[in-house]
Amino acid sequence: MTASPPYRQHARAILALGLPLIGSHLAQMAMMLTDNLMLGWYDVQALAAVTLAWSVFFVLFIVGSGFAFAVLPMVASAAASGDEAQMRRVTRMGMWLSAIYGVAVMPPLIWSGPIFVAIGQEPAIAALAQDYLRIVAFSMIPALLVMVLKNYLAALGRTQSILWITVGAAVLNALVNYALIFGNLGMPELGIRGAAIATLVTTLASLAALGLHIARVEPAHAMFQRLWRPDPGAFGQVFRLGWPIGLTMLAESGLFSASALMMGWLGERALAAHGIGIQLASLSFMVHLGLSQAATVRAGHALGRRDGAALRDGARVAITLSMAFAAATIVLFLAVPEFLVGLFLDPGDPQRPQIIAIGATLLAVAALFQFVDAAQVMALGLLRGLHDTRVPMIYAAISYWVVGMPASYVLGFPLGLGGAGVWLGLSLGLACAGALLMSRFWLRAVPRVPPDAVAAPAVGRLR
């Protein structure tokens, strides 16, 4: 039986991995926030359109990211057991799968306008959203490759590299947005198209920086040599672990995107307020996501070492850290909601008071789901570290589409609660997911990996 380190050591290890990942996620979110802030100052209609467009892009992106997230626990387990060839193989095939997926989803982004109109969006908003997506579509493949390389580095503990590359990308994105949205620095005024170009430029720069960094710091892994050669064995491994992750993320992100469509039925101001509220809620979620990824790496290492005690104690520490941050977020959302929403709007905009009023109500509802949102993402991270992805996918589908989606519609429209009702439905879906996934981890996954057991076969029975 292997003795687990004290809780303090677990906390230090999780924070050493997690804090740079949190910083990189927040820097990534800063790019989206920059788009929303600058477009909100530029034109409320443009803000509503980019909210609609990004909700669709993000759904497609997050499904494809399942292959990148599969690379994280697979590389972590291989690293713990000293299998460098496996680390290289799964990362390369993660890149292959991501590129294939990216090609497949570009057409609906390029011709998205008629789809938006068909599902009830205002024609002017739909046209602007299509203008944005026709440019951003070409960032899908590089964005997915960036995710693969970031997860590879995270599995090796090189999270500081991820942080600084992402911070640099956020600065570049802000500069290009400033130049192209408003026509500053001698550039043409392109509005929403300028924001799309900034996203594409930043994504390509991030991919180049990560590739050069990996080639320099991990030359022994020879990651990009013979990249064109297929590896059916590793391809199948990444695919089998990755597609349930992608569909799990689709279930959640699809619910939030569907909520954006429902908010669009309530009008331009409601959709703009929803976009702001989602951005603020997503900022807090990035902290939980970073801690969850750190928990995935730690669980993967424990699996590779067959150390069940470290798995249990590390999970308790990671969950405690996440819940503490959730409590702080609740206080912030309830204390100064008007101030937070107002940051996204031009002080002179005549619609500002109405949007702030709607947004403040939505943040009050967002405070309700902070604990359960933290619970579901932490449980997912821990289960992925144990290569347990298929049953969590089913739980997510039930929670978000059998519970959350109908509740959002019924509360928002037949019961007349409007935007607050839509967000209350989101809360119910997240609560169901948090309860089911945490039960899966503690009642099914943890007992199957005792400290003195052979971990890999035990985890295999969970799938």
Task: Count structural domains, the chain.
Answer: 1
Give the chain's length.
463
The two structure tokens encoding residue 78: 């291989």
> What are the pLDDT digits (tens) for 88-102?
899 999 999 999 999
What's the CA gap between 305 and 296, in Å, rounded? 14
Question: Per the domain annotation, does 27 fall within a domain?
Answer: yes
pTM of structure = 0.81
CA-angle at 453, arms to 449 and 454, nearest 5° = 95
For 362, residues 6+ apart whose C-beta sits below 8 A from its C-beta are 273, 274, 277, 419, 420, 423
> What are the pLDDT digits (tens) for 4-38?
567 888 899 999 999 999 998 888 777 777 877 78
Average predicted confidence (pLDDT) for the chain:
87
For 71, residues 6+ apart whose C-beta sits below 8 A from its C-beta are 90, 91, 94, 148, 151, 152, 155, 238
For 138, residues 6+ apart whose C-beta sits below 8 A from its C-beta are 106, 200
Question: Per the domain annotation, does 2 fall within a domain?
Answer: no
Average pLDDT over residues 404-426: 94
The two structure tokens encoding residue 217: 């710091």
Among 80-84, 183-187, 305-309, 441-445, the range with the most confident prediction by mean pLDDT is 183-187
Q: What is the percentage of the chain residues whose pLDDT exceeds 70?
A: 95
The two structure tokens encoding residue 332: 């912030």
**What's the Cα-to-Cα distance from 146 to each of 134, 208, 212, rounded to whole Å?**
20, 9, 12
Average pLDDT over residues 63-74: 93
Question: Per the domain annotation, does 395 fall within a domain?
Answer: yes
Question: Per the domain annotation, does 391 fall within a domain?
Answer: yes
Among 1-10, 303-312, 354-363, the range with the most confident prediction by mean pLDDT is 354-363
Q: What is the identity of the amino acid at 14?
A: I
| pLDDT at site 80 | 81
> What are the pLDDT digits (tens) for 201-233?
999 999 999 999 998 887 656 777 778 888 999
The better pLDDT of the pair 282, 364 is held by 364
Question: Per the domain annotation, does 209 fall within a domain?
Answer: yes
Q: Is pLDDT at 454 greater than 60 in this prediction? A: no
Average pLDDT over residues 363-391: 93
Q: Cβ-count burial of 1 within 10 angstroms (0-12 exposed, 13-18 middle, 19+ buried)?
A: exposed
Per-residue confidence band for 272, with pLDDT thresholds at 50, 70 and 90? confident
Ranges of H-type helices in 113-231: 113-118, 123-136, 140-155, 159-182, 192-217
Per-residue confidence band for 434, with pLDDT thresholds at 50, 70 and 90? very high
Instruction: Supply the range of the domain harboring residue 222.
Output: 7-460
> What are the pLDDT digits (tens) for 94-144?
999 999 999 999 999 998 888 888 877 788 888 889 999 999 999 999 999
Burial 92-110 (b: 16+ CB within 10 A, else e): bbbbbbbbebbeebbeebe
Rg from Cα positions in the chain: 21
Per-residue confidence band for 410, with pLDDT thresholds at 50, 70 and 90? very high
| pLDDT at site 221 | 60
> What are the pLDDT digits (tens) for 164-173?
999 999 999 9
| pLDDT at site 220 | 56
Q: What are phi and psi of 136, to 5 degrees?
A: -65, -25
Question: Per the domain annotation, does 1 fall within a domain?
Answer: no
